[in-house]
């Protein structure tokens, strides 16, 4: 079509359109004359005109505005819930902003929840930004600390969108907590202390956060602070025009950061100071009508000391802030450790202050729980610790002897607060879970369940129990079930100083305890100054998302523990019901496998049936979770007891011990296994390890005694059996072997 003059065409169209439809043809005839092309064009345009007005009137509201909104969400709406990207299935949208969107996703390969952060398109498109980001994520992934949100991985979708895989934590950001006014001064100090701890660890590795602010600090349900987005926050949030000048972020920038020049680790100390001030004073220390005024306040303004609380605590906070909020980095703390030391000291004074108030109430309550060694008074939702055992206010001091016990922990049976039956199962089950989980802390030996259960309801004090078990620390607490929620209160007691190291309250849905368990492990590890290596990888999960299945599993375990035919049959029912609800619940398969082994051993089922079903169940569990130590032991037991495949059995025992070095039963069973193979020295070593982990049970000792017997070390064997009989004079099996040993020594008088 030949181009026509737009203005002429527009004018004619305007006129034609303003006429009633019946008059238009005549108008066009007149206007176009012989120009048939013009006539055709105009006719078609006039026809389109009326519909066009209606159509385009709605375009702003119906198309463009939603497009702008969707663009704001950017990656947000491109991905939908339930969608799978690489091995991650999107479960829930957690948030999103200029830097991209964060989803809670299920890692299908490792069967755990992680957080996936997609980066904004413009960052993914820029190769330089991309390279920097990958480098930073790599550095951040080396940070393994309880107060740092872990970075697992960085990846790319098939259409080259970058994403970062991070730890998923249940909880809320400090920003949101603060908005709710939920943070007390005490808590603020406690939380900031944890962040300082994180910074200290990161700075030691040369990694600067650059964007410490309340929205980057997540507080888990268990009260652990996690500093998120290490090293990547600032990069990710940078834009082509202005680097990192997000309105919310400027407020936490250090003076040197606002200049856009060189910064070092001390910028993080400033930012954390701003966070602390805001938490304690309720407002930010530096404010401005606009960005310019804010920057000026940061560079030159003074902060209001008067808004800080009075008293020792407020004074302590002020002193710390003076050293964080110095304009010149050289006048600040030289490093996060210094800040951490001051915060720790302040955290300690705080407890001392509170002790005086709480002591009386604490004792009066104590009397009510006669069966429990001690329970703490709980204040507030988060259960801030107030209780205390001893009158001395000294900070933990460990004697040399205690130091050697420090790496041994006893988890006392959790106590159900009410006498509800289900609560008892849950309490016992949760105790076992905690023992299993805490066993995974490197270098920590956790006393086995069978040595703990005798103390259930004994009324003995933690200190005395610690002595009997030769442990450095005792973890004890209570459990309450209300409306499908579990509330667990735990306290960690240092045996030598009798000092309560910490107390925490945890609340979660019955089936949703894995996050809490992880928090407990990390917090205990931190309190004991121990490292959990890659907690995300090593801490196994409860293995089911079904709360009901989990409770059924715990009931099964409870009954199986009684080791009699009726109870085992009942246990079998519970495990089967749990598996009906969740066939992918590996631990329930192990429970079922163990039950069949027990039933076979008790001759309640045909041996062949019992062990073949036990083996099948264990194999099923291992298909689901190849790293489940209990499943390896279950399989090994079936293989050794019935199939006589000792080689494979040995392999599975070793694997179980490798996966969980504190697994007493694995050591004990492996010791027996080694005895069958006549590897007596190794067998004895395993038996002794089992004994250390399970000091009150006679089972490891019997194994040790029989090993000594078969090794023809009769004197030692006799001593071993006598030792068992001293404690447990009604142990017939020990008499039998004692007699055998004495017969071997031809000491027939004694044998008789």
Partner 1 sequence: MVESTQTTVTNLLRELQTGNRGALGELFPLVYAELRMLAHRQRQRWRGDFTLNTTALVHEAYLKLVDQKELFAASRTHFLGVAAKAMRHILCNYARDRLRKKRGGDLHRLSLTDLETIPAHVTFSAEHAEVLVALDEALRQLETVHRGLNDIVECRFFGAMSIEDTATALGLSPATVKRRWTLARAWLYRAMQVHSGHER
Q: Select 80 or 370, whichever has its Cβ closest to partner 1.
A: 80
Find the binding residues for partner 1 in span 366-395 (CB under 8 A): none
Q: Which of residues 469-488 bind partner 1 (CB under 8 A)?
A: none
Binding residue for partner 1, selected from 37, 84, 287, 678, defined by CB under 8 A: 84
DSSP string covering 545-581:
S-HHHHHHHHHHHHHHTT-SHHHHHHHHHHHHHHHHH
Report the C-alpha gap between 401 and 406 in whole angstroms.
9
CB of 179 to partner 1, least distance (A): 14
* Calpha distance 548→250 (Å, rounded): 48
What is the closest distance, in whole angstroms, from the C-beta atom of residue 18 to partner 1 in the complex? Answer: 10
Q: Is 625 labeled as catalytic in the residue annotation?
A: no
Any idea which residue has 């001091």 for tokens? Answer: 397
Q: Is 728 in the site for partner 1 (CB under 8 A)?
A: no
The reply on whether position 155 binds partner 1 by CB under 8 A is no
Interaction between residue 87 and partner 1 (CB under 8 A):
no
Among 240, 310, 371, 400, indicate the residue that binds partner 1 (CB under 8 A): 240
Is beta strand 473-482 parallel, antiparallel or unpaired with respect to 485-494? Answer: antiparallel
Shortest distance, CB of residue 32 to partner 1, whole angstroms? Answer: 15
Nearest Cα residue to 454 out of 116, 727, 139, 89: 727
Q: How many CB atoms lie within 10 A of CB 695?
A: 20
Among 96, 167, 429, 535, binds partner 1 (CB under 8 A): 96
CB of 281 to partner 1, least distance (A): 25
Q: Phi first, then psi: what are they for 475, rounded to 5°?
A: -110, 125
Considering only 21, 72, 459, 626, the residue that binds partner 1 (CB under 8 A) is 72
- Which of these segments, 128-136, 236-244, 329-337, 546-554, binds partner 1 (CB under 8 A)? 236-244
Locus of tokens 């890692």: 107
| 12 or 207: CB nearest partner 1 | 12
Helix (H, G, I), strand (E, B) or coil at 161: coil
| Span from 116-124, 221-229, 482-490, 652-660 in contact with partner 1 (CB under 8 A) | 116-124
Q: Using CB under 8 A, which of 21, 26, 35, 56 touches partner 1? A: 56
Q: Which is nearer to partner 1, 60 or 419 (CB)?
A: 60
How many CB atoms are located within 10 Å of the residue 732 CB?
Answer: 7
Q: Does 35 bind partner 1 (CB under 8 A)?
A: no
Q: Please write down the HEC assignment for all residues of 123-174.
A: HHHCHHHHHHHHHHHHHHHCCCCCCECCEEEEEECCCCCEEEEEECCCEEEH
Q: Which of 21, 23, 26, 53: binder of partner 1 (CB under 8 A)?
A: 53
For residue 130, state whether it binds partner 1 (rule: CB under 8 A). Answer: no
| Spatial distance between the Cα atoms of 419 and 748, rounded to a whole number of angstroms | 53
- Report the distance separating Cα 529 and Cα 409, nearest Å: 13
Site string for partner 1, 5-34 (x = CB under 8 A): -xx-xxx-xx--x-----------------
Q: Which of 19, 25, 39, 77 binds partner 1 (CB under 8 A)?
A: 77
Distance linking the first and last C-alpha atoms of the chain: 121
Among 255, 227, 258, which Cα is nearest to 245's?
258
Least distance CB 362 / partner 1 (angstroms): 45
CA distance 570 to 181: 49
179 in contact with partner 1 (CB under 8 A):
no
Give the nearest distance from C-beta 4 to partner 1 in angstroms: 8
48 contributes a contact to partner 1 by CB under 8 A = yes
| Residues facing residue 226 across a β-bridge | 218
For residue 307, the 8-state DSSP code is G
Of positions 22, 181, 241, 419, contacts partner 1 by CB under 8 A: 241
- Residue 284 or 655 with smaller CB distance to partner 1: 284
Size of the site for partner 1 (CB under 8 A): 67
Of the residues 27, 78, 94, 301, which one makes contact with partner 1 according to CB under 8 A: 78
Interface pick for partner 1 out of 19, 25, 32, 85 (rule CB under 8 A): 85
Q: How many residues are listed for the chain in this entry?
A: 752
Strand partners for 493: 474, 500
* Residue 298, C-beta contacts closer than 8 angstroms, at least 6 positions apart: 250, 251, 253, 254, 255, 258, 286
Strand intervals (E) in 288-443: 408-411, 415-416
Would you say 114 or 346 has its CB closer to partner 1?
A: 114
The tokens describing 696, both together, are: 């009150």
* Residue (20 or 371) nearer to partner 1, CB: 20
Residue 246 as a binder of partner 1 (CB under 8 A): the answer is yes
Q: Where are the alpha helices (DSSP H) in 481-564?
A: 514-527, 535-538, 547-560
- Tell me which DSSP letter residue 441 carries: S
CA–CA separation, 669 and 630 (whole Å): 12
Is 247 a binding residue for partner 1 by CB under 8 A? The answer is: yes
Asked if 93 interacts with partner 1 (CB under 8 A), we say: yes
Structure token pair of residue 301? 């303004």
Measured CA to CA, the distance from residue 171 to residue 177 in angstroms comes to 10
**Shortest distance, CB of residue 159 to partner 1, whole angstroms?**
5
State which of residues 89, 365, 688, 723 lies at the interface with partner 1 (CB under 8 A).
89
Q: Which stretch binds partner 1 (CB under 8 A): 240-248, 318-326, 512-520, 679-687?
A: 240-248
Q: Which of 14, 12, 38, 16 is nearest to 26 (CA)?
A: 16
Q: Decide if residue 74 touches partner 1 (CB under 8 A).
A: yes
Identify which range of 53-61, 183-191, 280-288, 327-335 contacts partner 1 by CB under 8 A.
53-61
Would you give the binding string for partner 1 spanning residues 257-296, x where CB under 8 A is met? Answer: ---x------------------------------x-----
Task: Please state, in angstroms and rounded to a whole number, the distance separating the CA atoms of residues 414 and 479.
Answer: 6
CB neighbour burial string for 385-418, b if at least 16 within 10 angstroms, e if fewer: bbbbbeeeeeeeebeeebeebbbbbbbbbbbbbe
How far apart (Å, rounded) are the C-alpha atoms in residues 541 and 227? 23
Output 103 or 389, the one with its CB closest to partner 1. Answer: 103
122 forms part of the interface with partner 1 (CB under 8 A): yes
Binding string, 421-440, against partner 1, x = CB under 8 A? --------------------
- Of positions 26, 40, 69, 608, contacts partner 1 by CB under 8 A: 69
97 binds partner 1 (CB under 8 A): yes
User: Residue 257 or residue 496: which is nearer to partner 1 going by CB?
Assistant: 257
Catalytic residue among 35, 126, 153, 211: 211
**Smallest separation, CB 66 to partner 1 (Å):** 4
- Check binding of 300 to partner 1 (CB under 8 A): no
Q: Is 356 exposed, middle or buried (0-12, 13-18, 19+ CB in 10 A)?
A: exposed
Q: What are phi and psi of 493, to 5 degrees?
A: -115, 130
Inter-residue contact 164 to 153 (CB < 8 Å): yes
Q: Which of 26, 59, 131, 352 binds partner 1 (CB under 8 A)?
A: 59
Chain residues binding partner 1 by CB under 8 A are: 1, 3, 6-7, 9-11, 13-14, 17, 44-49, 51-53, 55-56, 59-60, 62-74, 76-85, 89, 93, 96-98, 120-122, 157-159, 239-243, 245-247, 260, 291
Catalytic residues: 211
């Amino acid at each position: 079509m030949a181009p026509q003059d737009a203005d002429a065409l527009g004018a004619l169209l305007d006129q034609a359109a303003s006429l009633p439809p019946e008059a238009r043809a005549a108008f066009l005839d007149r206007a176009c004359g012989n120009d048939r092309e013009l006539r055709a064009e105009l006719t078609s345009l006039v026809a389109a005109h009326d519909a066009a007005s209606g159509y385009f009137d709605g375009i702003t509201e119906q198309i463009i505005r939603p497009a702008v909104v969707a663009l704001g969400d950017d990656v947000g709406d491109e991905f939908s819930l339930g969608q799978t990207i690489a091995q991650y299935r999107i479960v829930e949208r957690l948030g999103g902003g200029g830097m991209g969107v964060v989803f809670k996703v299920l890692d299908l390969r490792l069967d755990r929840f992680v957080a996936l952060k997609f980066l904004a398109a413009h960052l993914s498109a820029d190769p330089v930004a991309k390279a920097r980001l990958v480098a930073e994520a790599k550095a951040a992934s080396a940070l393994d600390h309880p107060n740092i949100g872990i970075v697992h991985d960085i990846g790319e979708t098939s259409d080259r969108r970058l994403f970062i895989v991070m730890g998923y934590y249940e909880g809320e950001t400090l920003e949101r907590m603060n908005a709710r006014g939920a943070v007390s001064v005490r808590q603020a100090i406690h939380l900031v202390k944890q962040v300082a701890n994180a910074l200290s660890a990161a700075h030691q590795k040369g990694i600067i956060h650059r964007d410490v602010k309340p929205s980057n600090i997540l507080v888990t349900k268990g009260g652990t602070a996690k500093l998120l987005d290490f090293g990547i926050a600032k990069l990710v949030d940078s834009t082509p025009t202005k680097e990192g000048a997000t309105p919310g972020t400027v407020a936490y920038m250090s003076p040197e950061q606002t200049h856009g020049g060189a910064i070092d680790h001390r910028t993080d100390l400033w930012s954390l100071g701003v966070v602390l001030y805001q938490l304690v004073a309720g407002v930010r220390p530096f404010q401005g009508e606009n960005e310019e005024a804010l920057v000026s306040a940061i560079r030159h303004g003074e902060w209001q000391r008067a808004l800080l609380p009075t008293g020792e605590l407020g004074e302590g906070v002020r002193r710390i802030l003076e050293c964080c909020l110095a304009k010149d980095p050289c006048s600040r703390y030289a490093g996060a450790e210094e800040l951490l030391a001051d915060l720790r000291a302040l955290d300690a004074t705080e407890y001392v202050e509170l002790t005086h108030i709480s002591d009386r109430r604490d004792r009066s309550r104590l009397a009510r729980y006669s069966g429990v060694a001690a329970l703490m008074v709980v204040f507030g939702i988060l259960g801030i610790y107030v209780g205390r055992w001893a009158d001395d206010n000294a900070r933990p001091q460990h004697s040399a002897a205690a130091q050697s016990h420090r790496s041994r922990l006893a988890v006392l049976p959790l106590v159900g607060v009410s006498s509800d039956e289900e609560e008892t199962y849950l309490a016992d089950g949760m105790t076992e879970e905690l023992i299993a989980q805490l066993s995974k802390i490197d270098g920590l030996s956790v006393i086995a369940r069978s040595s703990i259960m005798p103390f259930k309801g004994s009324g003995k004090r933690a200190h005395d129990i610690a002595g009997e078990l030769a442990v450095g620390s005792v973890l004890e607490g209570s459990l309450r079930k209300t409306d499908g929620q579990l509330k667990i209160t735990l306290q960690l007691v240092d045996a030598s100083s009798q000092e309560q190291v910490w107390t925490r309250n945890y609340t979660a849905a019955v089936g949703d305890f894995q996050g809490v368990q992880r928090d407990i492990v990390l917090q205990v590890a931190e309190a004991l100054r121990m490292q959990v290596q890659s907690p995300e990888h090593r801490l196994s999960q409860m293995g089911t998302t079904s709360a009901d299945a989990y409770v059924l599993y715990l009931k099964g375990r409870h009954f199986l523990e009684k080791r009699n035919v009726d109870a085992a049959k009942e246990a079998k029912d519970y495990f089967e019901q749990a598996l009906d609800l969740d066939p992918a619940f590996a631990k329930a398969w192990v429970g079922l496998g163990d039950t069949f082994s027990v039933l076979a051993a008790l001759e309640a089922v045909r041996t062949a049936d019992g062990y073949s079903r036990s083996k099948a169940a264990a194999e099923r569990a291992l298909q689901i979770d190849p790293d489940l130590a209990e499943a390896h032991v279950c399989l090994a037991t079936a293989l050794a007891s019935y199939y006589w495949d000792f080689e494979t059995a040995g392999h599975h025992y070793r694997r179980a011990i490798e996966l969980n070095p504190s697994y007493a039963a694995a050591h004990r069973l492996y010791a027996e296994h080694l005895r069958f193979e006549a590897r007596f020295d190794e067998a004895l070593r395993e038996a002794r390890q089992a004994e250390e982990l399970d000091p009150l049970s006679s089972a490891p000792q019997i194994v040790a005694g029989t090993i000594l017997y078969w090794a023809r070390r009769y004197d030692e064997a006799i001593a071993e059996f006598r030792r068992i009989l001293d404690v447990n004079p009604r142990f017939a099996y020990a008499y039998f072997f004692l007699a055998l040993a004495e017969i071997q020594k031809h000491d027939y008088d004694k044998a008789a």
